[in-house]
Chain A
Amino acid sequence: MAARLVVSRWAAAPVAARAGPLVTCRRWSGAAADTVYDVVVSGGGLVGAAMACALGYDIHFRDKKILLIEAGPKKVLEKLSETYSNRVSSISPGSATLLSSFGAWDHICNMRYRAFRRMQVWDACSEALIMFDKDNLDDMGYIVENDVIMHALTRQLEAVSDRVTVLYRSKAVSYTWPCPFLMADSSPWVQITLGDGSTLQTKLLIGADGHNSGVRQAAGIPNVSWNYDQSAVVATLHLSEATENNVAWQRFLPSGPIALLPLSDTLSSLVWSTSHEHAAELVRMDEEQFVDAVNSAFWSDANHTDFVDSAGSLLQHALALLRPTKVSARQLPPSVARVDAKSRVLFPLGWGHAAEYVRPRVALIGDAAHRVHPLAGQGVNMGFGDISSLVHHLSSAAFNGRDLGSMSHLTGYETERQRHNTALLAATDLLKRLYSTRATPLVLLRTWGLQATNAVSPLKGQIMAFASK
């Protein structure tokens, strides 16, 4: 018995450390009028709304009460506008599977989206390039406007309004955590106070409220983050001539990557990450100058050096000897003719990762748990991956009659996703830093590295598989 007590004290220490900040446990004072929800999702963005949808359509959640709290107004899209929105996301096949599991993908297909089949990524400082495509030219991913995704999710949420309640224009201002041990008069649920003063209780709180997550801060979960000295400029561009436009282009300039994502036969979306000053200048300059800047960013070879060029072609010849059939000539992206008026916007970039994704009765998903550079197009896909994993764990917990806020299945979700996300976050940060320099040794290293990776098809296949989960 004594041995057991010692063991449980050891075990209790890390558990207590994870029990949240030491707040005085509030009394259960006539709060019986509070509705007790099974799950509350705080934050109604792409990831939060998709989470609420996925739970609402899950077969084992038919008996449960789910609430989604969104600070903004309900976005109603009566008619799809002619002009494309400038905020788009690259949706991986895995994310598309998730969206179709609750019927949102059908709405997206009925509105608009663009599949791309090839991706070319190349360096501004050398000839090195890497070309991704699937064996039989299947769709590698889809470019969808964020508004379209949001509208599809809203429609699906309306369809299950008996199970999922959505509160628009509501913001949670404070959270009260339950005590680790059940004491008399203290509620075991999480209590949420909204901006209008009303309170509600929930067995599980899911934080999907973005990289400045209120849930994460209130729970006291430590977060590692830093701001990049880069901002991203987005715009909608008109191409000079209509093309098949099913290729995604990305070039690594020393100031940051510039990407062209297909939207239609004549339109593409621009995502250009560059220094804060240059980004502000790009947004300010007039349209002609902007179009010239974009075209020269993709086409100009000003950053090439002879040394690196010859070293690169040396390796290229060596690889060609080994694999004579593979020829990857550098292709040039389509030229840009015009930019949509008022479609140029900039936003700052940063990196962030929460030390823990779960606490008793709390889970973080999406940007609340991790924030990444857009160079790999993985931000929202990681969020959708979090949703798939968490819904899977919650669904089997519900079918086993478990308390939804119990750590046993929440830690299963955390382990699964941390393994995947940490690797991806580290890789994107590494790539960003590696490609932010003009220093010759690093340029040489990355040139050879890129060429070698391009030559090894199984490796490329692994990278694509990892990114499309």
Chain B
Amino acid sequence: MSGGHKLSGSGIRFLGVLGSGCREAPAHRLRLTWAVNQPDWTLQIKPWIFNKYRTIWSRSYGVTFSCLNRMKRPPWMRLYSTSQTTIDSSEVKTFQALAHKWWDEQGVYAPLHSMNDLRVPFIRDNLLKAVDDHQPGKPLSGMKILDVGCGGGLLAEPLGRLGASVIGIDPVDENIKTAQHHKSFDPVLDKRLEYRACSLEEIVEETIGTFDAVIASEVVEHVIDLETFIQCCCQVLKPGGSLFITTINKTQLSYALGIVFSEQIAGIVPKGTHTWEKFVSPEKLESILESNGLSLQTVAGMLYNPFSGYWHWSENTSLNYAAHAVKSMVQEHPGSAEFVLKEDTEELQANTSPSPGVPEELKK
């Protein structure tokens, strides 16, 4: 493995097993400090450590959080986006080949394509609840939506077709390029969608209180500082706006199925995509949402059937789940939000009618 950037298949499996097998925190930190001393070798070979390494690197640059490591990005993509010295022309070609994988419906991102069957109706129906009537044909027209971590635009495009104006942001340039390229062929989508390669923090100032909805789908399990992320999401939302999150729960089951089975055994998800420690449970998510002035309306479990390739709604939230939270109408400081929140949620509970296909779990 000297000097080579390409990891052999067996190498990945070996490291993957090591990485996921080691759940003890001290061992991680040990490897981490060791890694810092030998940057090149770390970058090339140890993707799961690289995750932590990059955290330290980015912290030292004053960025308190980052939308890192999408579910979709294989290890060597991270190399390109942070380290300038290890760019290899063959790697660049690999990135381009992979960037196109976004829109291959039977390819690596097939589970994300089929997840649209759940997330688009979830978002659409919850947004339509808030309006009295809508234009048939483009039910979401007039709505401004921010898609954080949009990747190749898999979720932004359906929402654009439903009439919404969508701004998609992603820190990886290639993803934005792929997304822009894909939308450029459709004149209607070209006008409704806008993509930017940046992080959420960078656009907070210019977009305070402008969005009807913010979507962070398959993102919060890759974010370093969830508190700040949610805070920024709340800032860019209009009062009464909606925040949609889909992510993975932190349970024994999600470790067994989400990491061991999906990544190592079945290869449904590229290895090293997820770190179990960063999974977020609905309870933790709810507490962070509440402390930022967002009230959780719906939590619904999602289950993926790897044989059929389809997702299903479920009562069980121990694997994947979708959450819908609403920003309170009154602008309050986060500390004193609780009084007002309780009243608002009682109001919303009375007004909210259960949407047909989605089991509701009002957590109160």
The answer to whether B100 and A188 have CB atoms under 8 Å apart is: no
Q: Chain A nearest CB: distance from B201 CB in Å?
A: 29
Q: Which residues of A contact B114 (CB under 8 A)?
A: 408
Residue ID in chain B nearest A406 by CB atoms? B105
Q: Separation in Å of the B64 CB from the closest CB of chain A?
A: 32
A189 touches B185 (CB 8 A): yes
Interface centre among A5, A62, A63, A184 (most CB of B within 10 A): A63
Known A-B contacts A36-B187, A62-B137, A63-B137; A3 and B266 likewise in contact (beta carbons under 8 Å): yes
A160 to chain B, nearest CB (A): 12
Does B303 reach chain A (CB closer than 8 Å)? no
A191 to chain B, nearest CB (A): 12
A404 to chain B: closest residue by CB: B161
B23-31, B152-160, B203-211 - the one binding chain A: B152-160
Contact B116 A62 (CB under 8 A): no
Q: Is B117 an interface residue (CB 8 A)?
A: yes
Q: Are A400 and B9 in contact (CB under 8 A)?
A: no
| CB interface residues, A 50-66, toward B, < 8 Å | 59-64
Across the interface, A60 reaches (CB within 8 A) one of B108, B136, B157, B265, namely: B136
Instruction: Take A184-B181, A189-B185 as given contacts and tell me if A401 and B158 are in contact as well, using a CB distance cutoff of 8 Å.
Output: yes
Name B136's contact: one of A12, A59, A402 (CB within 8 Å): A59
Whether A8 touches B108, Cβ cut-off 8 Å, given contacts A400-B116, A400-B117, A400-B158, is yes
Known: A61-B137, A62-B136. A4 touches B268 (CB 8 A): yes
With contacts A3-B267, A59-B136, A400-B116 taken as known, whether A182 is within 8 angstroms of B161 at the C-beta atoms is no
Contacts of B181 in A (CB 8 A): 182, 184
A8 to B181: give the CA distance in the assembly, Å: 24
Known: A8-B108, A182-B103. A402 touches B116 (CB 8 A): yes
Q: Does A329 contact B (CB under 8 A)?
A: no
Once A59-B137, A402-B158 are accepted as A-B contacts, the answer to whether A1 and B270 lie under 8 Å apart by CB is: yes
- Per-residue interface assignment for chain A, residues 43 to 80, with 1 indicating a CB less than 8 Å from any chain B CB and 0 otherwise: 00000000000000001111110000000000000000
Closest to B164 in A: A401
Q: Say yes or no: is B250 at the interface (Cβ < 8 Å to chain A).
A: no
Nearest CB of B to A14, in Å: 10
A333 nearest CB across to chain B (Å): 49
Indicate which residue in A1, A28, A60, A402 contacts B137 across the interface (CB closer than 8 Å): A60
Is B312 positioned at the interface, with any CB of A under 8 Å from its CB? Answer: no
B106 lies within 8 A of chain A by Cβ: yes
Q: Is A173 an interface residue (CB 8 A)?
A: no
Please judge, given known A-B contacts A11-B106, A60-B137, A188-B185, whether A2 and B267 are in contact too, CB under 8 Å: yes
Q: Decide if A15 is an interface residue (CB 8 Å cutoff).
A: yes
With contacts A181-B104, A182-B100 taken as known, whether A64 is within 8 angstroms of B185 at the C-beta atoms is no
Do B137 and A4 have beta carbons less than 8 Å apart?
no
Contact between B108 and A64 (Cβ–Cβ < 8 Å)? Answer: no
Bound-complex Cα distance A294 to B354 (A)? 65
B129 contacts across to A, CB distance below 8 A: none
Contact digits for B160-196, partner A, Cβ 8 Å, 1 yes 0 no? 1111000000000000000001100111100000000
Q: Is the CB of B106 within 8 A of A12?
A: yes
Contacts of B159 in A (CB 8 A): 401
B107 within 8 A of A: yes
The answer on a CB contact under 8 Å between A64 and B186 is: no
**In the assembled complex, A264 has its CB within 8 A of some CB on chain B:** no
A12 to B158, CA, bound (A): 24
Answer whether residue A183 sits at the interface, using C-beta atoms and an 8 A cutoff: yes
| B79 part of interface (Cβ distance < 8 Å) | no
Closest chain B residue to A203, Cβ basis: B186
A297 near B: Cβ within 8 Å?
Answer: no
B100 → chain A closest CB, angstroms: 6
Known contacts: A1-B9, A7-B267, A12-B106. The answer to whether A401 contacts B160 by CB under 8 A is yes
Contacts of A184 in B (CB 8 A): 181
Interface presence of A187 (CB below 8 A): yes
Q: Find chain A residues with CB under 8 A from B124 CB.
A: 399-401
Which residues from B are CB-within-8-Å of A5? 267
Q: Which of B112-128 contact A (CB under 8 A)?
A: 114, 116-117, 120-121, 124
B residues 62-94 touching A (CB-CB < 8 Å): none
Is A130 in the interface zone, CB < 8 Å from B? Answer: no
Q: Of A2, A60, A203, which one neighbours B9 at CB under 8 angstroms?
A: A2
The verdict on B288 contacting chain A, using a C-beta distance below 8 Å, is no
B13, B103, B159, B185, most chain A CB atoms within 10 A = B185
Q: How many Å lie between the Cα of A60 and that of B134 in the bound state?
A: 12
| Closest beta carbon of chain A to B15's beta carbon, Å | 12
Q: Name B159's closest neighbour in chain A (CB-CB).
A: A401
A167 at the interface (CB under 8 A from B): no
Closest approach, in angstroms, between the C-beta of B134 and any C-beta of chain A? 11
Task: Give the residues in chain B near A280, CB-CB below 8 Å.
Answer: none
Is B59's beta carbon under 8 Å from chain A? no
Contact with B along A373-411 (1 / 0, CB 8 A): 000000000000000000000000011111100111000
The answer to whether A15 and B116 have CB atoms under 8 Å apart is no
B179 to nearest A CB, angstroms?
11
B2 within 8 A of A: no
- CB <8 Å contact, A63 and B116: no
* CB under 8 Å from chain B, chain A span 2-34: 2-5, 7-8, 11-12, 15, 28
Cα–Cα distance between A422 and B110 once the two chains are bound (Å): 31
- Residue of A with least CB distance to B272: A1
**Chain B interface (Cβ < 8 Å from any Cβ of A):** 9, 12-13, 100, 103-108, 114, 116-117, 120-121, 124, 135-139, 157-163, 181-182, 185-188, 265-268, 270-271
By a beta-carbon cutoff of 8 Å, the part of chain A in contact with chain B is: 1-5, 7-8, 11-12, 15, 28, 36, 59-64, 181-184, 187-189, 203, 398-403, 406-408
18 A-B residue pairings within 8 Å (CB atoms):
A1-B9, A1-B13, A2-B9, A2-B267, A3-B265, A4-B268, A59-B136, A60-B137, A61-B137, A62-B137, A63-B135, A181-B100, A182-B103, A184-B181, A188-B182, A400-B120, A401-B120, A407-B105
